[in-house]
């Protein structure tokens, strides 16, 4: 199924959590001069114009990044994330939002390598328009099979971001089976997995957490952010990030961030967060 377009959701509460975690990990990797590899399994278009009709249809960014943008001084721990957003905007206006590929490109140094995968034909063409340059490889392929094929990468350390749309229930199983194969080929990599919190799919997200905790990674960290009460419909009330082989002090950074982030992005009094070691 290739109907999903992330432009409809760009900059929403789930993007804020996902990209904050991504920025924390990339900052940690940049702390050493040695190069790293970044692999994105579901890259999308790479970046988004917030005035586009698709983005404006629900304007989900208003409940996400827009709530933080004009109060950046209150979020010093997110300076790297904000700098990546500012790099694609003119002045202080919030007109464009980076997807995970543009966020990764902001942190990229000459010694680092980006491998970006996208299966959707139109999206991968936009991705090619939005990103280019040395050390960036764009692959028009399925991210699940593509990941295994690209491992182990060079440089040997780095981050994989896995964030499928989960339109198909099989995506949950594919994430787990792909990571099982990936661990055999690249056991030292950092793997960050995004997933939605949906009232109708609690068993799937819980099953994913259990499956990833049993893959054999020494450390598995899970952060969830819920912005509203669970409704018995098709809405997403929050999202989660599972990080296997988390970067140094990622748990401490999230423990500092999540309480205030859940308050700022709350849509009702049922908003909240969890941060736990699954292993």
Residue numbers annotated as active site:
163
Inter-CA distances, 185 with 150, 153, 188, 244, Å: 9, 9, 9, 15
CA distance 2 to 19: 23
Please report the DSSP string for 137-193 in residue order.
EEE-S-HHHHHHHHPSPSSS-EEEEE-----STHHHHHHHHHHHHHHHH-TTSEEEE
Q: What is the CA radius of gyration of the chain?
A: 17
Burial of 279 (0-12, 13-18, 19+ CB in 10 A): middle
Angle at 214 between CA 115 and CA 17, to 5 degrees: 50
């Amino acid at each position: 199924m290739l109907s999903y377009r992330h432009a409809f959701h760009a900059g929403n509460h789930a993007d804020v959590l996902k990209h904050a975690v991504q920025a924390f990990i990339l900052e940690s990797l940049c702390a050493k001069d040695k190069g790293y590899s970044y692999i994105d399994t579901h890259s999308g278009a790479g970046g988004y114009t917030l005035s586009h009709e698709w983005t404006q249809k629900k304007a989900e960014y208003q409940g996400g990044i827009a709530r933080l943008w004009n109060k950046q001084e209150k979020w010093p721990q997110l300076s790297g994330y904000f700098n990546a957003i500012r790099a694609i905007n003119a002045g202080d206006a919030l007109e464009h939002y980076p997807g995970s590929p543009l966020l990764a490109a902001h942190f990229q140094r000459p010694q680092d390598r980006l491998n970006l995968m996208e299966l959707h034909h139109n999206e991968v063409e936009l991705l090619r328009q939005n990103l280019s340059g040395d050390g960036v490889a764009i692959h028009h392929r399925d991210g699940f099979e593509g990941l295994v094929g690209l491992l182990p990468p060079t440089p040997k350390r780095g981050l994989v971001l896995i964030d499928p749309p989960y339109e198909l229930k099989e995506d949950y199983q594919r994430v787990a089976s792909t990571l099982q194969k990936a661990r055999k080929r690249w056991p030292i990599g950092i793997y960050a997995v995004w997933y939605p919190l949906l009232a109708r799919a609690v068993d799937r997200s819980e099953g994913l957490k259990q499956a990833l905790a049993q893959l054999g990674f020494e450390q598995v960290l899970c952060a969830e952010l819920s912005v509203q009460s669970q409704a018995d419909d098709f809405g997403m009330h929050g999202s989660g990030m599972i990080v296997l082989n988390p970067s140094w002090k990622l748990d401490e950074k999230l423990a500092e961030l999540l309480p205030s982030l859940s308050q700022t992005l709350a849509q009702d009094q049922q908003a909240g967060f969890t941060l736990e070691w699954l292993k």
